[in-house]
Structure 1
Amino acid sequence: MELTDKLEILADAAKYDASCASSGAPRRSSEGKDGIGATNGMGICHSYTPDGRCVSLLKILLTNFCVYDCQYCVNRRTSNVPRARFSVDEVVKLTVDFYLRNYIDGLFLSSGIIQSADYTMEQLVAIARQLREVHNFRGYIHLKTIPDADAALIAAAGKYADRLSVNIELPTEGSITRLAPEKSVHTIKLAMGSIRRKLDEKAEEPRASKFAPAGQSTQMIVGADASDDQTILNTAETLYGSYKLKRVYYSAFSPIPQSPDSVPLAPPPMQREHRLYQADFLMRGYGFNAAELLPAAGNLALDIDPKLAWALAHREHFPMDLNMADETMIARIPGIGLRNAKRLVELRRLRRIRYADLTRLRCSMKKIAPFIVTADYRPASDTTASEVLRRSMAEHSPRQLDLWAELQAA
């Protein structure tokens, strides 16, 4: 098979893995020592670092052959899809050639399981090793970790990769047992734990050998099983706390040709994936916990974002006086982000905050107005029913919500 044909198959097969981002990658200069690649370059827009840099990544699978038969996966053993496999040298050549053409700044490499977990992981590590040691590649590398692989191979991967990911895929052990019987939650968590221990060792001893400086991440598929958003967020919260993950990624289940009856035949609304990302961001950045965002079983609202939903459910905190409240509570007001909360606290050290200050900060005034008090403003009525406010701020038409309700009831 021609290399271009392999690339077409294996780049398309990689699109289902959402755990692809370069946040946290260190800056490396490509000057001197004939090094190539950099994490601070500009190119095709694929992902962004925390400081806003755009990093383009070659995102491929080593192979879409797989000995596993995970029911939700397009590359499962029994799936009738075109198959291909790169050699180690072919992936290295593609990465270097694409960089030299200014197409990419880094590599995201995953794989189906071939022969064994150890054999597959050896191939992934060999690619990263060649890029770093033979070609002096200094760009970003993200390697998918095979959970059942030997701990020594995972440690070797962390030596060359900026980030490692161990995808848990489904939020409950029961779902994994039913839909991916060859996988084990125990081995997945053991792999996450071994990566965390290596990261902790590096943090405690800065002069120790480099290990995955951008940390580790994971992915959960949304809508492949019956798990609701409360279950998904609780699992994400546990993973963040137990393994110090940098990110949990959420991927809406996409039905595949000849899907088995064990998985849904229709995808969940993409808005559901979006709301989970918003809720996840609130947990990571705003100090919310999963129980606050979704205290009862069920899914996040689709018509309003999770922060607004929390505010409408906790009207006892509002309207909030911006000249009195602390920064963390100001950041919980719908329409005010972390940076603007900080700016408002700094501003009130100089003078009292007025309504016009919020417009100058480009806050979402329609969303913010019912929840704030300033030196010259108070809502006309503090008792407007939450349901009335919700309808005025909803992002979707009633018909769209009815369709989602029908899907849930089906």
Structure 2
Amino acid sequence: MTVASLPVLSAPPQPHPTPALQAKGPLDVRGKLAILADAAKYDASCASSGAKGARDRKKNSDPGLGSTESMGICHSYTPDGRCVSLLKILLTNYCIYDCQYCVNRITSDVRRARFKIDEVVSLTLEFYKRNYIEGLFLSSGIIGSPDDTMIELTEVARRLREDHQFRGYIHLKTIPECSEELLEQAGRYADRLSINVELPTETDLKKLAPEKRTPQIEAAMAEVKARRDANRADRRRGFKASPFAPAGQSTQMIVGATDTPDRDILRTSTRLYQRHDLRRVYYSAYSPIPHADARLPGQSPPLVREHRLYQADWLLRFYGFEAEEITPDDAPDLDLELDPKTAWALRHRGLFPVGVNTAPREMLLRVPGLGVRSVDRILKIRRFRALRLADLKRLRVPLKKARPFLLTADPGGGKHLDSESLRERFAPKPTQRLLFDAAGSALTGEV
């Protein structure tokens, strides 16, 4: 059986339609794009640029020269820092599941739409030819069954790759419990696959998304990892094997829909990184939806919490920290006032100050203000001479943060380490907190 030979499924009936929605009539491609691009914004795996100026202009005004707002186009960043634009849409916002945190759940009364496969292919090609985008980010609600949905997602990628020789970036959402054959085909056509774990714990899923199960979700992740490992092994042995999801796999976790502490969130992330070789776990602050279940909170968690989780995630992946160190038993939630590394250092002042010219790499990575690149440069330089504060300044180390925890060749280091006001020195000013709340999280998604 090939994906191309399977028929396109007819759309299921719209659940609970309202008279106002029925009266609007059939949708053209632009109307579908408006609905399905808006519905895709809840997926944090591809972050929007959030251009505020365009939103502030009158609805009926022309976009004009320099407008950065366009339906379905999001801006994301690659690991090397390049900004890329992707067409980010859902194939459909119909869904047979009733996940209480999701605006597209079956019991929601949102207006429904569904792209035909050819419409998605045509939109991608036309946007790409006009240099609006560099690739496609395609997700979908569940229609019919996991296989039914995965057939259509994969067929979009197949037609782009084989029929139109499209060589741009493709990111496909993978539906848990779809067949291994469809997963294999998706990995051959897509650069990246992602399977959303949805919520931090199995208990959370049972509470708010009873049709979904953590074991099934992780089984799909494990299958992707196994196929990537097998593909890499074949290529190392010299076989001409087509790449399988060469950009790896990622997942998304909704934060704040339940009272699960940050410690459990980070433990789940650690498990997923270790077991399934994920490239990235994305954290998405819960956003209140219309007619929400009474068990859901009435407002979003502070956006700074999402930001702190990304910082903690970075410490887990690149700095040698463990979840239990960042969120100990007496502080299971991250400090919203301080970044996780600084909060850890202040709880462990007895380990500091450390000598910048003598401390091992592992300890230097735990100094607030020192990043991986700065530490690697320090290790190279100190082989030839002792570093002073002036050298760290030339390396662009933020001395205001790092100096209390470091000893350099200069006299008098580590003077303020025991100061009771050290925490206040690092905490953001009230105006900074207000600016953060107003602007939202500045994090962007890695593609």
Contact 1:108 1:143 in 2 (8 A): yes
Q: Secondary structure at the match of 1:177?
A: helix
Checking the alignment, whether the CA contact within 8 Å between 2:405 and 2:417 is kept in structure 1 is no
Q: 257, 260, 269: which one pairs with 1:224?
A: 257
Q: State the secondary structure of the residue aligned to 2:150.
A: helix
Unpaired runs of 5+ in structure 2? 1-26, 48-72, 438-447
Equivalent residues of 2:136, 2:169 under 8 A apart: yes
- TM-score under structure 1 normalisation? 0.89
The 3-state SS of whatever aligns with 2:138 is: strand
The match for 2:404 is 370
User: For 2:366, what is the secondary structure of its paired residue?
Assistant: coil
One-letter amino acid matched to 1:3: V
- Give the structure 1 partner of residue 362 of structure 2: 328
Task: Tell me how far 1:106 sits from its aligned partner.
Answer: 0.5
**What CA distance in whole angstroms lies between the structure 2 residues aligned with 1:316 and 1:77?**
55
Following superposition, the deviation at residue 378 of structure 1 comes to: 3.1
* 2:295 matches 1:266: no
Match 2:224 to one of 195, 198, 207:
195
Match 1:114 to one of 143, 166, 191: 143
> 1:84-120 CA deviation, whole Å, 9 max, x = no partner?
1000000000000000111100000000001111010
Q: What's the CA shift for 1:220?
A: 0.4
Note if 1:213 corresponds to 2:246: yes
Per-residue deviation, 1:263: 1.0
Aligned partners of 2:336 and 2:425: how far apart in 1? Answer: 14
The 1:233–1:84 alpha-carbon spacing in structure 2 relative to 1, beyond 3 Å, is: same
Q: Report the Cα distance in structure 1 between the residues aligned to 2:432 and 2:395, rounded to whole angstroms.
A: 34
Q: Work out the CA distance in 1 between the residues paired with 2:431 and 2:75.
A: 34
**Paired amino acid for 2:342:** L
Question: Does 1:252 find its partner at 2:285?
Answer: yes
Residue 36 of structure 2 is matched in structure 1 by 10
Q: Is the 8 A contact 2:403 2:414 kept in 1?
A: no
Aligned AA (2:170): I
Letter in 1 for 2:122: K
1:151 to 153, 157, 180: 180
Match of 1:56 among 85, 95, 99: 85
Unmatched tracts of structure 1, length 5 or more: 22-43, 405-410
- Residue of structure 2 in register with 1:338 after alignment: 372
CA deviations 1:212-268 (Å, max 9, x no partner) are 001111110000111110010000001101111110000000001111112111110
Amino acid at match of 1:288: F
Instruction: State the distance in 2 between where 1:45 and 1:109 align.
Output: 12
Quick one: which amino acid aligns to residue 244 of structure 1?
Answer: D
Count of matched residue pairs: 379
Quote the offset at 1:340 in angstroms. 0.8
| CA–CA separation in structure 2 for the residues paired with 1:265 and 1:384 | 41
> Is the 8 Å Cα contact of residues 319 and 382 (structure 1) preserved in structure 2?
no
Q: Counterpart in 2 of 1:29?
A: none
- Sequence identity (%): 58
Shift in Å, 1:210: 1.6
Matched, 1:83 2:99: no
TM-score after normalising by structure 2:
0.82
Query: What is the deviation of 1:293?
Result: 1.0
Letter in 2 for 1:13: A
Regions of 4+ moved over 6 Å: 398-401
The 1-side partners of 2:74 and 2:389 are apart by 37
Looking at structure 1, the residues matched to 433 and 278 of structure 2 have their Cα atoms a distance apart, in angstroms, of: 34
* C-alpha deviation, 1:399, in angstroms: 12
Alignment of 1:173-192 (within 5 A): 173-192=202-221
Written as runs of structure 1 = structure 2, the 5 A alignment for 1:257-336 is 257-296=290-329, 298-336=332-370
Q: Match of 2:421, SS?
A: helix
CA deviation vs aligned residue, 1:12-65 (integer Å, no higher than 9, x gap): 0000011238xxxxxxxxxxxxxxxxxxxxxx8711112222221110000001
Q: 2-side partners of 1:396 and 1:260: how far apart?
A: 36
1:70 aligns with 2:99: yes
1:98 aligns with 2:124: no
Separation in 1, partners of 2:182, 2:411: 61
Deviation of 1:287 (Å): 1.4
Q: Is the CA contact (8 Å cut-off) linking 2:266 and 2:323 kept in structure 1?
A: yes
**Bigger relative contact order, structure 1 or 2, given CA contacts below 8 A and separation 6+?**
2
Question: Which residue matches 2:388?
Answer: 354
SS of equivalent to 2:136: strand
Measured in 2, the distance between the counterparts of 1:318 and 1:80 equals: 57
Q: Which moved more, 1:173-182 or 1:287-296?
A: 287-296
Q: Distance in 2 between matches of 1:396 and 1:163?
A: 40
| Aligned CA-pair RMSD | 1.8
Q: Is the 8 A contact 1:163 1:212 kept in 2?
A: yes
Q: Given that residues 45 and 54 in structure 1 are in contact (C-alpha distance below 8 angstroms), is that contact kept between their aligned partners in structure 2?
A: no
Q: 2:164 aligns with which of 117, 129, 135?
A: 135
Task: Assess if the C-alpha contact under 8 Å between 1:355 and 1:377 holds in 2.
Answer: no
CA contact (8 A) 2:349 2:417 kept: no
Higher mean displacement: 324-333 or 8-17: 324-333
Q: What residue is the counterpart of 1:27 in the other structure? A: none
